[in-house]
Amino acid sequence: MSLIYQSIENTNMKNYTRVIERILEQIRTKERFILTSHVNPDGDGLGSELALYHFLKEQKKDVRIINASPIPAVYQFMDPDSAVFNTYDEHDRECILQSDVIFVLDISEIHRLGAVEEPIAQSSAVRICIDHHSTNNFPGDILFTDEHAVATGELVLQLIKQGGFQITTHIAESLYVALLTDTGCFRFSNTDARALLLGAELLASGVNHQTICSKLYENNSWEKTRLFAHSIVTLEKEENGKIARMHITKDMMKETGTIYEDIEGFVGFARNIKGVLISILFVEEPDNKVKVSFRSGNKVAVDMLAAEFGGGGHKNASAAVLKNVTLSQAIESVMKAANRFV
């Protein structure tokens, strides 16, 4: 690592030498590993999992990735043969219970594990949580968390490097997906000098920036594009344009033949409108539930807004799920709260 990178890194990041050494000791002495992330995993969760998977495989460990949700289509290029990412079913329960170590990545609350929560809670394995949310309440045996990290992938990189191991191209590509998606391709407020230097380091390890960007951001289906067109029609502004909101109904999804993972990225669109401080997307879900996604710039902490409805996330990117409400009720309730934030 260069001196300039060390200087910038040490400005914000805490010294995790001891906790990393505890994790490396588990890796050295244990054999069976399970890796998992939150329901509906994103690029940071999946990229962190895959990087750690390749690292553990190089150490000749028995390792499996088991998530509650299937890998979204946009990320399937990371596992083209469907050989690495597994979606949990009851046959995986025994595998989790018999594991030695369970890594939980990019998650701050145990309930975000979905179907794998119960077997993980029952397992006697050492539970290691690696995460970068502002608050972390995961009941792990070892917690490696830092809200100042650009992405969870940055902490995984720190772990591998402290062990003195080589950053292979496979590992670098996986971590680059984590970095790109959590910085919005270097557009979000967490894009600082360290983030750019981290990207440069991964590029120097063999990553092709254009290839990864193309796979992540230039592969929208016609169905997703039609759904986006429908959602744009619902765009409304409030508080003199400081808040922008859109919504998606179940009928829109049925008409366009889309699934819920196709909505990824929609909430960020209205943040590009001049003067918008908060962008909000309401998505009607089955069983009288409405998912609400929030995005903001540096001036507004939407994690606090999401928390008012039982949700959370990052300062400028959060979400919540409202239960037993109609779409119109959810919009009315959330907008009343959002107006106070601007």
- Domains of the chain are 3-216 (3.90.1640.10), 222-340 (3.10.310.30)
- Please give the pLDDT value at position 266: 95
CA distance between the termini of the chain: 42
pTM for this entry? 0.87
Report d(CA 119, CA 2) in Å as an integer: 43
**Which residues of the chain fall below pLDDT 50?**
1-11
Q: What is the pLDDT of residues 62-104, one digit of tens each?
A: 999 999 999 999 999 999 999 999 999 999 999 999 999 999 9
Contacts of 53 (CB under 8 A, 6+ apart): 35, 63, 65, 84
Rounded Cα distance, 44 and 42, in Å: 6
Q: Residue 123: which of 148, 103, 151 has the closest Cα?
A: 103
Instruction: Return the pLDDT at 10.
Output: 46
Structure tokens at 217: 């951001």
